Chain A
């Protein structure tokens, strides 16, 4: 409970004693590149293969002659949009971005760089963390959209190249019974997950005490706690929005 309380107090610090807007804009762009652009490669690889595997495994399970083959594509699409693209991508990002944030802030803390900012009269939490949070909340939905597209494309490539589904059936399947609201839901999730990952990781990194060992521990805790928070939030969002 104390930790949760401290976490909310920490969130409060982000919005007090703010710096000039131009400073935040510059920092936001730096963080957007660091968090968003630098994650495109890993997100692309993971998403494409998850889509491919989803297609093959769904086709393997759908053996009934009463179910049309195009259903494979429909299932891949809905799995991607509703769960795999937002949740799995964000779990991957919790590992990559979360550990990066916690490690960076933890190192800055133990090497007195955070103290140096405070002594200059700069709100270190706001200057260092707020741009990361905003960058994560903006770039994560973009990455998830890319992930969903590549996942469905991966399913198409795997399905058609192995012959489990024809290109025509696949395209027909992904167009069948499409619910546009699901796209909205898909974009809400990474927005929330981005906030959770960036704030939890920042909190863990910002309050690191000790040396290199503790920085490593903070990174590990940041990833673990972020993943748990993602799964809990995933359930709550599903309950709330669907």
Chain B
């Protein structure tokens, strides 16, 4: 479980996050949704430790990330798996080397253990035959799946996905969503997905947080999402033509 308490961040006097508090539940896919420029990505970067918030706390199972010492911070980092928007695969390494990278850097496993683990993760995302290919030789959807394999190779307790469906066709997007949800439930991890894709929200949104201008305006699940009284949320949701008929 991850708790966000009054997280705030400003850049050059411009307040991007104005005190966001939320709880990201274990074993569920937690989604942060909102339009462009509402602070979703900044919040994610604050949570994973790439940007230090000006105020507030981020608690990983009770451990305050920004107040713990370097060693504990490293320990928390090693429990994270992150799927970046573009995949962030290392261009100079093959698919297999990309997935294997955290094992090489952070563990003392022997060759056989590493090979077995990499093979398992690639199989889990359906790419067991793509190990020898370079990132430039595979499609966008495959890149995302490789990035997921790399994110789960260390058995993370927390999985973070930044716009996992951006740039993907609807069919591949659904497959990625399903994969994220399966992994979350299978390994009982705390998953956070940043998205503005309503298909994802309706597909996997077990705990949905709506951000608007740096503030949390609504929280709930995808079954109650369309019944809210929050004007900004309704505007966001029903901007999608497919959902417009369901508008209250």
Given the known interface contacts A119-B49, A119-B82, the answer about A111 and B88 at a Cβ–Cβ threshold of 8 Å is: yes
**Chain B, 77-128, CB within 8 A of any chain A CB:** 77-78, 80, 82, 84-86, 88-91, 101-102, 104-106
B105 touches A115 (CB 8 A): no
Smallest CB-CB separation from B90: which chain A residue?
Answer: A113
Separation of A134 and B59 alpha carbons in the complex (Å): 39
B88 touches A120 (CB 8 A): no
B85 touches A120 (CB 8 A): no
Chain B 56-81, CB-CB to A under 8 Å as 1, else 0, gives 00000000000000100010011010
A23 at the interface (CB under 8 A from B): yes
Chain B residues, CB < 8 A from A120: 77-78, 101-102, 105-106
Given the known interface contacts A120-B77, A121-B77, the answer about A112 and B85 at a Cβ–Cβ threshold of 8 Å is: yes
Starting from the known contacts A118-B49, A119-B80, A121-B106, 9 additional A-B residue pairs (CB-CB under 8 Å) come to A111-B86, A111-B88, A115-B84, A115-B88, A116-B82, A119-B50, A119-B82, A120-B101, A120-B102
B102 touches A112 (CB 8 A): no
Separation of A113 and B82 alpha carbons in the complex (Å): 11
26 contacts between A and B (CB under 8 A): A19-B105, A23-B104, A23-B105, A111-B86, A112-B84, A113-B88, A113-B89, A113-B91, A115-B50, A115-B84, A115-B88, A116-B82, A116-B90, A118-B49, A119-B49, A119-B50, A119-B80, A119-B82, A120-B77, A120-B101, A120-B105, A121-B74, A121-B77, A121-B106, A122-B105, A122-B106
Chain B 11-50, CB-CB to A under 8 Å as 1, else 0, gives 0000000000000000000000000000000000000111
Smallest CB-CB separation from A26: which chain B residue?
Answer: B104
Range for the number of chain A residues in contact with chain B: 10 to 19
Separation of A121 and B82 alpha carbons in the complex (Å): 12
CB within 8 A of A119: which of B70, B77, B89, B91?
A: B77
B86 touches A119 (CB 8 A): no
A116 touches B88 (CB 8 A): yes
Chain A residues, CB < 8 A from B102: 120
Chain A residues, CB < 8 A from B89: 113
Q: State the 4 A-B residue pairs at the shortest beta-carbon distance, nearest first.
A: A121-B77, A112-B88, A116-B88, A112-B84
Smallest CB-CB separation from A17: which chain B residue?
Answer: B70
Binding site for B on A (CB under 8 A): 17, 19-20, 23, 107-108, 111-113, 115-116, 118-122
A121 touches B78 (CB 8 A): yes
Chain A residues, CB < 8 A from B78: 120-121
Chain A residues, CB < 8 A from B91: 107-108, 111, 113
Chain B residues, CB < 8 A from A112: 84-86, 88
Smallest CB-CB separation from A16: which chain B residue?
Answer: B70
B74 touches A116 (CB 8 A): no
Chain B residues, CB < 8 A from A17: 70
B160 to chain A, nearest CB (A): 8
Separation of A146 and B85 alpha carbons in the complex (Å): 46
Separation of A230 and B105 alpha carbons in the complex (Å): 35
Smallest CB-CB separation from B105: which chain A residue?
Answer: A122
Chain A residues, CB < 8 A from B105: 19-20, 23, 120, 122
A116 touches B84 (CB 8 A): yes
A118 touches B50 (CB 8 A): yes
Chain A residues, CB < 8 A from B80: 119
A43 to chain B, nearest CB (A): 23
- Which of A19, A111, A118, A120 has the most chain B CB atoms closer than 10 A to its own CB? A120
A148 to chain B, nearest CB (A): 33
Smallest CB-CB separation from B78: which chain A residue?
Answer: A121
A62 to chain B, nearest CB (A): 51
Separation of A17 and B88 alpha carbons in the complex (Å): 22
Separation of A115 and B80 alpha carbons in the complex (Å): 13
Separation of A111 and B136 alpha carbons in the complex (Å): 13
A119 touches B90 (CB 8 A): no
Smallest CB-CB separation from B108: which chain A residue?
Answer: A20
A17 to chain B, nearest CB (A): 8
Chain A residues, CB < 8 A from B106: 120-122
Smallest CB-CB separation from B79: which chain A residue?
Answer: A121
B63 to chain A, nearest CB (A): 15
Separation of A119 and B85 alpha carbons in the complex (Å): 14
Separation of A107 and B136 alpha carbons in the complex (Å): 14
Separation of A94 and B117 alpha carbons in the complex (Å): 42
